[in-house]
Amino acid sequence: MSTRIEPNVQFIREMQAAGGESLKKCYQCATCSVICPLSPEETPFPRKEMIWAQWGMKDKLVNDIDIWLCHNCGECSDYCPRGAKPSDLLAALRNMAYKSMARPAILGKWMSSINYLPILFVIPAILFLIVWAASTGLTIPDGEIVFSKVFPTLAAIDPIFILVTIFVIFTFIYSVGRMLASFKEAGFVPSEDSPGFLRSLGAVIKDQILTHVKFKDCETNQERYLGHLLIFYGFVGLFIVTAFVATAYWADKFGIIDFATPMAMWNPVKILANVAGIALIVGLVYVTRMRINADPKKTVNSYYDWYLIGVIWAVVITGFLAQIFRLADAAALAYIVYYLHLVTVFMLFAYLPWSKLAHLVYRTVALAYARQIGRKALHD
């Protein structure tokens, strides 16, 4: 029996533009699937994705759970005898998913090209300028440097970031729902005796994400493992600090405790913030160095990679500089840099579902679902 395949040529071009430019070089030797430390025994990846991509089989690729099981270590591309860069094809497919899964779709378009970067910057830049204009008329206040004089926590910053958080959560609920529906459509359905999704999710977080064990499995790229681990725990530390400060601030407002910012340098929460910031910087140095030194014959650095690295750098640098200028009593510089800090934090979190950082959610859900349906790497 023969099967007629109608290649989706437009989709092939989109994959090539999103980072899978060498996909046509593949001659199906399967070295990549054999070498991949995370590939399952049954229908392993990424060889099959290479042939689906060459044939423009969009339906197969957009519903493919395996693109999320790949941790982008690049080991397959290192060993590919044709320089077809299979790891980049899987990364390109994930980039296309970031662009298309969440709504509004226009944000996906803006996040996919450097041409739209000014728009992404101008939105928060204007928003926080309005806050500044409303609080002090765009002037630098006298006296002790307290950022909430210019950017009032209660009246502006908390409401803005609470709304951003609600927007991001609902966007992810919608896009994750679409992703799980697409897996089911592709035939990835849990059996009756499968563990529940939440149980699988808990196991994935405990066994894989907190330990980063899958990154460790990719032995040729330990620098990437270390960089990713440090960035991950840097974010965890900063999330704890932010949650603590927000809770304490509101507890103070309701008269439950006495709490004031800025905190003293030796306050444990402040120490955690600085340690997490340093972990983030060291992790960023690893990841940036790795991207700069990447062999162009083996890997492609996409705009999605550089947007995320660039924005995290901007958040960290402006965060530290705002603190340094405040301690040095350089009021104008401190307030301006803090303004830029707010703009970059907004760019990191408000656009999260369309950025590469969305893999934090999509990959975690896909790994949990893969565990639920029993799709495991060969040596798991």
> Footprint of ligand SF4 on this chain (CB under 6 A)?
26-32, 36, 38-39, 45-47, 50, 70-76, 80, 82, 84, 86-87, 90, 218
Closer residue to ligand SF4, CB minimum distance, 38 or 111: 38
Please, how many CA atoms are within 13 Å of residue 24, restricted to the half-sphere of its CB?
8
Least distance from ligand SF4 to the Cβ atom of residue 220, Å: 9
Least distance from ligand SF4 to the Cβ atom of residue 22, Å: 9
Closer residue to ligand SF4, CB minimum distance, 27 or 239: 27
Least distance from ligand SF4 to the Cβ atom of residue 82, Å: 4
Closer residue to ligand SF4, CB minimum distance, 82 or 212: 82
Q: How far apart are CA 119 and CA 111, in angstroms?
A: 10
Closer residue to ligand SF4, CB minimum distance, 47 or 326: 47
Least distance from ligand SF4 to the Cβ atom of residue 302, Å: 14
Least distance from ligand SF4 to the Cβ atom of residue 378, Å: 11
Least distance from ligand SF4 to the Cβ atom of residue 33, Å: 7
Closer residue to ligand SF4, CB minimum distance, 94 or 326: 94
Least distance from ligand SF4 to the Cβ atom of residue 213, Å: 13
Closer residue to ligand SF4, CB minimum distance, 75 or 314: 75
Closer residue to ligand SF4, CB minimum distance, 53 or 168: 53
